[in-house]
Structure 1
């Protein structure tokens, strides 16, 4: 279905509906997700928030019931921002957003709520709700004349579950700077998803022991311009919070099918049941020639928050592996660690991740395998960018960040990164643009402030780049993002 026909069809549905807002928190303003994290870490919200986006259902009642009079500054501001958005929903007003972004250069490294990877863009977004249907239509015009419907979706809710078709930004894991398995580093992938529409505890006596929990399973398709065109992608995630302010998440992604590859229903069942198949599609083979159908990545993450000197401290980790020997012995495992706390009106965090890992176990020192696959040689990527880590494969990085909140709704963010990109100099990852190896120090940030119906964000970055075969360089980037809300 081409862009124009789909847009007309979607618009005809949208404007025939009574309009309210998205069923998920922060699909337009991602800072609302930070607000949810703030309330959860301070102990004011009993929900699991490790999977973005979090559904409003369940958490909305808790937010509206909060007494903010005795809160510290940071959770108080978070509660006020979330309550303001909920009150806008109650008015049942039509909400349309027009967003314009321009940058001085092509962005390279992204973050959860920083600049996107597009130099210039215009986006028109409409949120809507009609009976059990809800959705969001975003029409995007990008530099070079490209048009797409990224971050558009249509969802149908039944009980505590919903079915969603479309593409939305997602982020799986506790980190602020990156995720090893699913982030918004690349454009959102079109999927059909079955998800729980609540991230709080279940009323069922059979499930209440889990505390707050969330589950989603999705089936998507990658682009046609890749080594195996139209590769299918299966995604699944389960998070649980069995006791206060502790969260555990399990994630699984599997690439399968695509042009020239087995893609029947039977093949999909082989993928999700981990059935062994012979290399090169032989009918019979030795044990050493057996592999799993598809390309799998899976792992877990966890986060625990506790109070020290009257402020929360959160410690968290993520471990995602791919490839295995002897069935379940995962060999290629990347790790991420982080810690965060609050100082006055600022949340500060320190994180480190490493995807420069050895392949195949057994003492091997060979790298260049993470996010890579022999059959799916475009790797675990979508449109040339990693579906997981911002820094792609063969990268070590450490990030120090600060998210600062001011009275009146203004927000500032500062991030300092140090990264080693592809230190062995072979099979360079797509994140490299000028050499096969790079040592990078980057300082980036933005200032965001509402002005009436406008939300203005100005930001930029400066990078010190050290190369092996090229001259070292210092580069700077500036960008401006302006969003206008039609009530």
Structure 2
């Protein structure tokens, strides 16, 4: 599998180059535009869009269908504004684009959330895409003079895809965001660079009808096999991901997610091993291998799994949404109300408000990744040392890729509380702002503070941070400008002076 992925990697670029002279287009919504996501979610909360909306990339197919069927004469000004922006972006996706993007920043972004334009500071990237009835491709080479991971030329965002009935098979380097969170997610985010992966996704969330009723449940599913080809303890580890996303009722959305690391240099990698991964037979001394077999290196892999729920309603005729995620590390169920192992949590609430002559989505989001696993420390979860979440004793680099976690922006052993505001796009202008209260590496411990391949990628010691960030996006004809920055104040437990940091960036896009 690893060799196949490596051999396919240059093919995606060659195919995209040959295809770039054809008709243009793109089949899905990626993670680059928070304002588009906000407008899509607003229409979904109003039941104008009926497809599940918490799994990205998100297919345009059902969104286009729902926009065609929308009764626009029944929508208020706020909904019409969202409808107009989504429809505009859909038209652009249909006809495609060739775009050049330039980013200039005074330093790398410490956290990269949905819609944030960069990870490494100061780079230039080209995007060109095309789509036919049965085929799609995108070519996105990027040059960075001083990348944090050493790769000056990357192809993040590039892919080739083919439609197979109601399925889309693809290969490429695509950012994924799984979950309802606006600031972060515990499973997959675009915090880390995308890895090369083969993927299969449902094209349309065609509903399943409950037998003997007329009740329909729209559902979609996506799965991928990626290769973690960065510098890590177990080279060329494979990452399998699976997500089932469905809406049992118009105001409810549920997602079920699994991630598993397996194979890699020196590790079992046959189909029988992957079957054990699929069956969850990998908890040593539990439902998986015996302690003796694990000691001999026969543990199949490292898994995480969980679920998320989003519920939208109204309170006193005012829109309100609640969302919750439980996402767990390897481990047997602890019993009681717990149906998973070493789970951590995320919760949030969002609503809408009108001020400054604009429509806004306001949210408060909380996450906790401070897990004290029973198989470490005191062996019973009573240890005050975490160093467990996103970690593994064999795959010691953990659920990380190119120096960043693939999940929460804030790594393990962290608590975050984020207040955010996202405006709708009106008169080609939009705003986003966040205030973050963060406790990073709360246990003041790191698995290997001298080894960059192991342990916490943000800080080896405890850090308490307050951060205010924001951005402004303005579009004019073929140009799109995004200006933003952040200011943060950090305090430390280790008799280290407080630290104030400021970042500024500008991102310029031009459609050829």
TM-score between both structures, scaled by the size of structure 2:
0.87
Of 104, 117, 121, which residue of structure 2 is paired with 1:119? 121
* Matched residue SS, 2:61: coil
Contact kept? 2:43, 2:49, Cα under 8 Å: yes
Matched, 1:57 2:61: yes
CA-CA distance at 1:107 after TM superposition = 1.4
Give the deviation of 1:278 after TM superposition. 6.5
Whether the aligned pair in 2 keeps the contact of 1:438 and 1:467 (CA below 8 Å) is: yes
Q: 1:471 is matched with which residue?
A: 497
Which among 447, 464, 474 is matched to residue 472 of structure 2?
A: 447
Seen in structure 2, the aligned counterparts of structure 1 residues 85 and 275 have a Cα distance that, compared at 3 Å, is same
Contact preservation (8 Å) 1:210, 1:240: no
Residue in 1 aligned with 2:47?
43
Does the residue aligned with 1:373 lie in a helix, a strand or coil?
A: coil
Q: Is 2:184 the counterpart of 1:182?
A: no
Partner residue of 1:261?
A: 267
Shift of residue 330, structure 1, vs aligned partner: 3.7
Could you tell me which residue of structure 2 aligns to residue 353 of structure 1? Answer: 367
- Once residues 203 and 9 of structure 2 are traced to their aligned partners in structure 1, the CA distance between those partners, rounded to angstroms, is 31
Structure 2 residue aligned with 1:303, among 299, 304, 310?
A: 310
Alpha-carbon distance change, 208 to 395 in structure 1, aligned in 2, over 3 angstroms: farther
Contact 1:124 1:139 in 2 (8 A): yes
Q: Post-superposition shift, 1:313? A: 0.4
SS in 2 for 1:128: strand
2:140 corresponding residue in structure 1: 138
8 A contact 1:202–1:208 mirrored in 2: no
Match of 1:106 among 100, 105, 108: 108
| Displacement of 1:30 | 4.5
Post-superposition offset of 1:304: 0.4
User: Is 1:335 the counterpart of 2:360 in the alignment?
Assistant: no
CA contact (8 A) 2:174 2:194 kept: yes
> Aligned ranges for residues 269-284 of structure 1 at < 5 Å?
269-276=275-282
Distance 2:299 2:334 in 1: 9
The count of aligned residue pairs is 480
SS of 2:59's partner is coil
Q: Distance in 2 between matches of 1:154 and 1:358?
A: 41
Cα pair distance change 1:167/1:205, threshold 3 Å: farther
Is 2:395 the partner of 1:376?
yes
Structure 1's 340 and 285: CA in aligned 2 closer, same or farther, altered over 3 A? Answer: closer
Which one of 181, 193, 197 corresponds to residue 191 of structure 1? 197
Compared CA separation, residues 173 and 348, structure 1 to 2 (3 A): same
Q: Does 1:386 align with 2:405?
A: yes
Q: Distance in 1 between matches of 2:239 and 2:98?
A: 31
Matched, 1:23 2:27: yes
Distance 1:4 1:293, change over 3 A: closer
Q: Distance in 2 between matches of 1:321 and 1:8?
A: 36
Q: Which residue of 2 aligns with 1:480?
A: 506
Q: CA deviation at 1:131?
A: 3.2
How far residue 406 of structure 1 moved from its aligned partner, in angstroms, is 4.9
Give 1:356 deviation, angstroms: 0.9
Q: Is the 8 A contact 1:108 1:431 kept in 2?
A: no
| Partner SS state of residue 425, structure 1 | coil
Cα offsets for 1:157-200 (capped at 9, x unmatched) = 12211101111111000010101010000001211111101135
Separation (CA, whole Å) in 2 of partners of 1:235 and 1:374: 20
Give the drift of 1:210: 5.2
Contact 1:54 1:199 (C-alpha < 8 Å) held by counterparts: no
1:233-261: CA deviation from partner (whole Å, max 9, x where unpaired): 00000011011110010000000010111
Q: Contact (CA 8 Å) 1:246, 1:305: kept in 2 or not?
A: yes
Q: Give TM-score scaled by structure 1 length.
A: 0.91
Q: Deviations over 1:412-432 (max 9, x none)?
A: 001000011112211165343
Distance 1:208 1:186 in 2: 43
Compared CA separation, residues 189 and 208, structure 1 to 2 (3 A): farther
CA contact (8 A) 1:119 1:143 kept: no
Displacement after TM superposition at 1:265 (Å): 2.0
Separation in 1, partners of 2:203, 2:209: 14
> 2:434: which partner in 1?
415
Structure 1 unpaired stretches of 5+: none
The secondary structure found in structure 1 opposite 2:248 is coil
Q: 1:208 to 1:196 in 2, by over 3 A?
A: farther
